[in-house]
Structure 1
Amino acid sequence: MRPPQAIHNWQMDQKADLNLPEQKPQYVSAFRALSGYCREHLLGFIGVLVCTVVAILSELLQPYLMKIAIDDNLLAGRNDYGGLLVICAIYLGLSLSSFAFAYVQNNLLQHIGQNIVSSIRKRLFGHILKQSMSYFDRMSSGSLITHVSSDTEALNQLFNQVLLSLFRDGLTLLFILVMLFQLDTTLALYCLILLPVISLIAIAFRSFMRTTYQLARTRLSRMVAFVAENLSGMSLIQVFHQQKEQERQFDERNGLYFKANLREIRTNVVFGRTFDILSNLSIACVTWLGGMAVLGKNLEFGVLYAFITYIRQFFQPINTITQQWNTLQSATVAISRIWTVLDSKPDVEDKEAAEGDAAKPEFGTESRRERELEFARARGQIDFRNISFSYEEGLPILRNLNLHIAPGEQIGVVGSTGAGKSSLISLLCRFYDVNEGSIRIDGTDVRDIPQAKLHRMVGLVQQEPYLYSGSIIDNIRMFDETISREEAIAACEFVGADAMIRKLERGYDTLLSERGSGLSAGERQLVSFARIIVFKPQVLILDEASANLDSHTEQLIQRALHIVSQNRTTIVIAHRLSTIRQADRIIVMSAGQIVEQGTHEQLLRQGGHYRKLYEYSQRHVAV
């Protein structure tokens, strides 16, 4: 028996900090994969590069113009007002050019970045949808939400901030060095001493900052997962008055995230202020050395003015890059986490997909009429042949189980909690694959049937039906426009849901919120029954589907079930033995095996497990 999801996620949370130092994300491979998206926008990046170069040159030529105005006009005593006017006009033109090309550069880069992030977000969500159920047993919903929302947003910031800084500020540093050597080689060589110092500081901070940002994002993911679990289980929290305990646990996670954020801020401040100090010292040294040269008549004043201006501009892009360092680290961790998800492969795959065979068309390319004809030919014979299965190695759930169900037979499955009833159904739907043996439908191993076809052939109604945000009519036909409104309404009339729906203000066009809140459990179950009937599966499975229904609604379901099960193989898992009394055969499971089978009357006469379950249920009803 698998641990409850909340306990399972709590165990994962406890291991997260312990495993954090040992994590070795594949940053290189993740960035290599990201570069594939960037190559699709190569022309756009070339445009960004051209705009950046023009904008930078327009800005860096302005101090050089001031140098010309000072040395060749003002200090030379030429009083050339016309020349000064020309310089001012050129200065204004360079300012406008810098603004215009920087504007185009920013917008073009943002357009490219948003396209790439949108593609990755779409791919990530689609990839998660393709994962097997075992993947969602391992991963908490909060972590996956963080990957789709927060991690992709960090990737968005990589383009919005980091790439922009690397394009603009990186080229600015390069061009400033060229201008410094153009002005005075000796002073420029003194300034080159700064480069090793800057490199040493960056290397010293790099490893520490990466660990800091990874820790912060891990704790954020844990806190989001905790909130998601509490929201989904709010009724249980309130019934057992767990508000204070859950608040205490949230405060604990929130406090850990708070401390990680403070550590991140402290690291960023120390890193940034280190460069501020280095910038001020550099300007002081250049002013002293250049001033001595000017006083010694070895350097023109205009050159010193331009040199100091360029030194200030030299540290501005460095400061900008360092300010983006935390964003880069955060994006690096996010990219690694995203590609860890994208690298995961489903435990359950179609045979053609696993073999890389694209010859067969995917389900969905056929017309609806062709699919219906194919399902009509299906007989619905099911064979479980010596199957064994476990969720975790060493903890078997099913052991050498054999079960043969004839076409059109109605089977009831009963047993105590943990007997393996739901696992049996999960294997038939191929949410998991058997460890040993095989499951066959009409003689074909379910592993050889494309999952899309299998899930249309096998209809499943669960104890807790899931309804999407949207109209009732869309929830019935699952947004499949090939199913007409009339067919959906006929299905609701068939199961007795029509009267209930028409009482609503907008009838079938009533919009439901998340999980169908606003409808009772019985009403949601009726809608899910109508949904199954619309899709006309050859095999129908009811997994505790009537457990939450009142007596009146249960009678409606029983009547509809009796009609819809005609010529369909039906498997009913039930705690209420009254729902399966009329079944053709009842299977009694215990400890992963079938211990009894027969009709209701036959099993009562045997006086075994079923009799005990029946007597217990009768006492429970009497009470």
Structure 2
Amino acid sequence: MSQAINNWQMDQKADLSKPPKPQYKSAFRILGSYAKPHRRTFGFVFVCTLIAIAAELLQPYLVKIVIDDNLMVGKNDYGSLLIISGVYLGLSLLALLFTYLQNNLLQYAGQSIVARIRKQLFQHITRLSMSYFDKTPSGSLITHVSSDTEALNQFFNQVLLSILRDGMTLLFILVMMFQLDAELGAYCLVLLPVIAIIAVAFRSFMRNTYQMARTRLSRLVSFVAENLSGMNLIQVFHQEKEQGKQFKERNQSYFQANLREIRTNVLFNRSFDILSNLSIAFVTWVGGKAVIGETLEFGVLYAFITYIRQFFQPINTITQQWNMLQSATVAVNRIWGIFDIRPEILDSEEAKKHDLPLDAVKGRVDFNRITFGYESGTPVIKALDLHIGAGEMIGIVGTTGAGKSSLISLLCRFYDVQEGSILIDGHDIRDLPQAKLHRIVGLVQQEPYLYAGSIIDNVRMFDPSISREAVIEACQFVGADALISNMKHGYDTRLSERGSGLSAGERQLLSFARILVFQPRILILDEATANLDSHTEQLIQQALGVVSKGRTTLVIAHRLSTIMQADRILVMRQGEIAEEGTHEQLIALQGIYEELFRHSQGQLGHAIGTVINTAVK
């Protein structure tokens, strides 16, 4: 037992930081690479299994000794019977103890491996580029992290244990049967080809039914995940009935696949039961004739019948694990399919060596004739040239699809430009480590995301290096302190996922406080005041006036009142800068900006109202 504990401690010291390179083509080789740090534990599992099986299979042999050497010869040696009974009890306890150790050790190793894979999978997904998430449904990723890793969990819980324990049991039973009577043992070997034919005949059909059920389950989980994330949209457009209909179709499809899988398993299991009963009847007939002819001892026949019963149990169990083995193989291939995906945005060797102290950043930004498109041949931004001075406040406006958010995404390096370059203080952002770039550039988006946790943790993003006092000061700065103080537990109030229970404006205030505690040199507000009421917007405007001092600030505006005091306002159209200047200069131009401003002042709404009133009259 102490040896097992030592093995566990050694296993925990293994390097779990990086997944092996996904160059393996075999699922077993991949899992084998993860099992290497636990090889001592698996060795101890093998020893425990060996002892447990031996203790269990020796029990019928002890009964055979009692029958042939005592009862059948009329020997009334109660002392010997008592000793054999004690040995039988000891073997039972020994089998129980080592089965317990075998299961616990195997579960420890298996759960450690699955936890390691799940952790590495999540870490790998979080490092992938935004372009991957643009193309991949979130429900599919949830399936990979949950269902696929659960399939691996079942592999270690059931499949591996069955292969090890039942495989060894089958081998030991054959040895014991030949030890008892070689002729009867040879008759039993005839069963092996029949068993193989049944297994092969069912294997392909069982694999297809199982894969069909897993595929339909994956679609069902993906559908549910997508609907839960968009529940507000479903309710607003009264799509409950339609979505319920689609869910019913997917659920019925999964139901039918499950029924087919169950029918296949029942038919397969009953086939083995029939074969088992026929074998027992055959052994009883052949062995009974030998006992009557006094060429075979009755105790040997009893032990043989017991072993033949046990002979089919491990075969049946192993074949039943075929589905799970297939599922684990598919899961490994799918998981390593994700590991095969490399992030498009990577730190270059130059970036790893680059040293740009955060305190030395001034905040000058240069977009040098950049061109970018999400798909090749269809540029969203075309040869844009823009130079922003350190500490300058820039407002960006334009119609939907003008390229405003794409420009910001390029500065945050969610994507790389296809032509040109983006510089911060003369340093190409591709030559800066991404971690440092994201400390230099702070982003507040239109839809702030809050995590399940306390307000303190949400503002400092679970970074313990940021003090509680700094969080409170940031919240006071943006005007969120009054809101938080009215909560029952104040700054320790726990928020649910996405901050449900808070208004859009309250969530936005917390996101402003979040950005302040990280002290970025370049601040980006991407439609950050679009969902705020007038009072909250006024609070944000007041905070903006102070926080933008000494910082380069880029504001994508939905409400033009947010950027009227900006040093410069850019009007974007079709990926280009159509107009540029201060608020007064752009109004004087009487161009795109002047039209946007006029609409924002309600002139268009007033005109429409006049038309409607006239029509009513």
Q: TM-score, normalised by structure 2?
A: 0.90
Q: Which residue of 2 aligns with 1:132?
A: 129
For residues 273-325 of structure 1, what are the alpha-carbon distances to aligned partners after superposition, in whole Å with 9 as ceiling and x for unaligned?
22222212222222222223333333222222111111100101112223333
Q: For 1:162-561, what aligned pairs fall within 5 Å after superposition?
A: 162-352=159-349, 374-561=357-544
Determine if contact 1:30/1:339 at 8 Å carries over to the other structure. Answer: no
Q: Which residue of 2 aligns with 1:79?
A: 76
Matched, 1:587 2:570: yes
For residues 14-56 of structure 1, what are the alpha-carbon distances to aligned partners after superposition, in whole Å with 9 as ceiling and x for unaligned?
xxxxxxxxxxx99953332221221111111111111111111
What is the identity, as a one-letter code, of the residue corresponding to 2:496?
S
For residues 188-242 of structure 1, what are the alpha-carbon distances to aligned partners after superposition, in whole Å with 9 as ceiling and x for unaligned?
1221122222223323333333333233222222222222222222222222111
Q: Which residue of 1 aligns with 2:554?
A: 571
What is the identity, as a one-letter code, of the residue corresponding to 1:229?
E
Q: Which residue of 1 aligns with 2:63?
A: 66
Distance (whole Å) between structure 2 residues aligned to residue 516 and residue 36 of structure 1: 41
For residues 48-104 of structure 1, what are the alpha-carbon distances to aligned partners after superposition, in whole Å with 9 as ceiling and x for unaligned?
111111111111111112222222222233333333232222212211111111111
Determine if contact 1:27/1:335 at 8 Å carries over to the other structure. Answer: no
Question: Which 4+ runs in 1 deviate beyond 6 A?
Answer: none
Instruction: Quickly say closer, same or farther: Cα 1:200–1:400, change in 2 above 3 A.
Output: farther
Q: Which residue of 2 aligns with 1:11?
A: none
Q: CA deviation at 1:342?
A: 2.5
Q: Which residue of 2 aligns with 1:121?
A: 118
For residues 379-431 of structure 1, what are the alpha-carbon distances to aligned partners after superposition, in whole Å with 9 as ceiling and x for unaligned?
21212223222223343322222222121111111111111111111111111
**Which of 107, 111, 128 is 1:110 aligned to?**
107
What is the identity, as a one-letter code, of the residue corresponding to 2:544?
L
The SS at the match of 2:550 is coil
Determine if contact 1:388/1:437 at 8 Å carries over to the other structure. Answer: yes
Distance (whole Å) between structure 1 residues aligned to residue 249 and residue 576 of structure 2: 44
For residues 130-187 of structure 1, what are the alpha-carbon distances to aligned partners after superposition, in whole Å with 9 as ceiling and x for unaligned?
1111222222222222222222222222222112211211100010111111112222
The answer to which of 560-569 and 169-178 deviates more is 560-569
What is the identity, as a one-letter code, of the residue corresponding to 1:606?
L
Instruction: Quickly say closer, same or farther: Cα 1:64–1:27, change in 2 above 3 A.
Output: farther
What is the identity, as a one-letter code, of the residue corresponding to 2:528?
A
Determine if contact 2:220/2:250 at 8 Å carries over to the other structure. Answer: yes
Q: Which residue of 1 aligns with 2:16?
A: none
What is the identity, as a one-letter code, of the residue corresponding to 1:324?
Q
The answer to which of 441-450 and 149-158 deviates more is 149-158
The answer to which of 550-559 and 284-293 deviates more is 284-293
Instruction: Quickly say closer, same or farther: Cα 1:281–1:400, change in 2 above 3 A.
Output: farther
Determine if contact 1:27/1:336 at 8 Å carries over to the other structure. Answer: no
Q: CA deviation at 1:604?
A: 2.5
Instruction: Quickly say closer, same or farther: Cα 1:417–1:186, change in 2 above 3 A.
Output: same
Distance (whole Å) between structure 2 residues aligned to residue 153 and residue 336 of structure 1: 14
Q: CA deviation at 1:540?
A: 0.5
The SS at the match of 2:466 is coil
Q: CA deviation at 1:360?
A: 5.0
Number of residues paired by the alignment? Answer: 585
The SS at the match of 2:558 is coil
Q: CA deviation at 1:621?
A: 6.4
Distance (whole Å) between structure 1 residues aligned to residue 353 and residue 416 of structure 2: 22
Instruction: Quickly say closer, same or farther: Cα 1:231–1:401, change in 2 above 3 A.
Output: same
Distance (whole Å) between structure 2 residues aligned to residue 48 and residue 620 of structure 1: 78
Q: Which residue of 2 aligns with 1:6?
A: none
Distance (whole Å) between structure 2 residues aligned to residue 77 and residue 473 of structure 1: 84
Distance (whole Å) between structure 2 residues aligned to residue 593 and residue 208 of structure 1: 59
Matched, 1:616 2:599: yes
Determine if contact 1:268/1:326 at 8 Å carries over to the other structure. Answer: no
Cα root mean square deviation, aligned: 2.2
Distance (whole Å) between structure 2 residues aligned to residue 463 and residue 454 of structure 1: 21
Determine if contact 1:283/1:308 at 8 Å carries over to the other structure. Answer: yes
For residues 524-551 of structure 1, what are the alpha-carbon distances to aligned partners after superposition, in whole Å with 9 as ceiling and x for unaligned?
1111111111111011000000000111
What is the identity, as a one-letter code, of the residue corresponding to 2:460?
R
Determine if contact 1:469/1:515 at 8 Å carries over to the other structure. Answer: yes
Matched, 1:149 2:146: yes
Q: CA deviation at 1:522?
A: 0.7
Determine if contact 1:52/1:101 at 8 Å carries over to the other structure. Answer: yes
Instruction: Quickly say closer, same or farther: Cα 1:433–1:555, change in 2 above 3 A.
Output: same
Distance (whole Å) between structure 2 residues aligned to residue 621 and residue 481 of structure 1: 50
Distance (whole Å) between structure 2 residues aligned to residue 239 and residue 505 of structure 1: 31
Distance (whole Å) between structure 1 residues aligned to residue 206 and residue 377 of structure 2: 41
What is the identity, as a one-letter code, of the residue corresponding to 2:487?
L
What is the identity, as a one-letter code, of the residue corresponding to 2:503?
S
What is the identity, as a one-letter code, of the residue corresponding to 2:55?
S
Distance (whole Å) between structure 2 residues aligned to residue 49 and residue 607 of structure 1: 84
* Structure 2 portions without partners, runs of 5+: 1-21, 610-617
Matched, 1:57 2:40: no
Determine if contact 1:409/1:568 at 8 Å carries over to the other structure. Answer: yes
Distance (whole Å) between structure 1 residues aligned to residue 580 and residue 42 of structure 2: 69
Q: CA deviation at 1:620?
A: 5.1
What is the identity, as a one-letter code, of the residue corresponding to 1:219?
R
Matched, 1:46 2:43: yes
What is the identity, as a one-letter code, of the residue corresponding to 1:447?
R
What is the identity, as a one-letter code, of the residue corresponding to 1:525?
Q
Instruction: Quickly say closer, same or farther: Cα 1:154–1:533, change in 2 above 3 A.
Output: same
What is the identity, as a one-letter code, of the residue corresponding to 2:223?
F
Q: Which residue of 1 aligns with 2:18?
A: none
Q: Which residue of 2 aligns with 1:15?
A: none
Distance (whole Å) between structure 2 residues aligned to residue 593 and residue 214 of structure 1: 50
Distance (whole Å) between structure 1 residues aligned to residue 577 and residue 222 of structure 2: 38
Distance (whole Å) between structure 1 residues aligned to residue 525 and residue 102 of structure 2: 59
Distance (whole Å) between structure 1 residues aligned to residue 503 and residue 302 of structure 2: 78
The answer to which of 573-582 and 80-89 deviates more is 80-89
The SS at the match of 1:396 is coil
The SS at the match of 1:340 is helix
Instruction: Quickly say closer, same or farther: Cα 1:51–1:467, change in 2 above 3 A.
Output: same
Distance (whole Å) between structure 1 residues aligned to residue 216 and residue 368 of structure 2: 46
Q: CA deviation at 1:587?
A: 1.5
Distance (whole Å) between structure 1 residues aligned to residue 396 and residue 600 of structure 2: 15
Distance (whole Å) between structure 2 residues aligned to residue 307 and residue 572 of structure 1: 85
The answer to which of 117-126 and 291-300 deviates more is 291-300
State percent identity of aligned pairs. Answer: 70
Instruction: Quickly say closer, same or farther: Cα 1:529–1:382, change in 2 above 3 A.
Output: same
Determine if contact 1:401/1:593 at 8 Å carries over to the other structure. Answer: yes
What is the identity, as a one-letter code, of the residue corresponding to 2:159?
V
Q: Which residue of 1 aligns with 2:7?
A: none
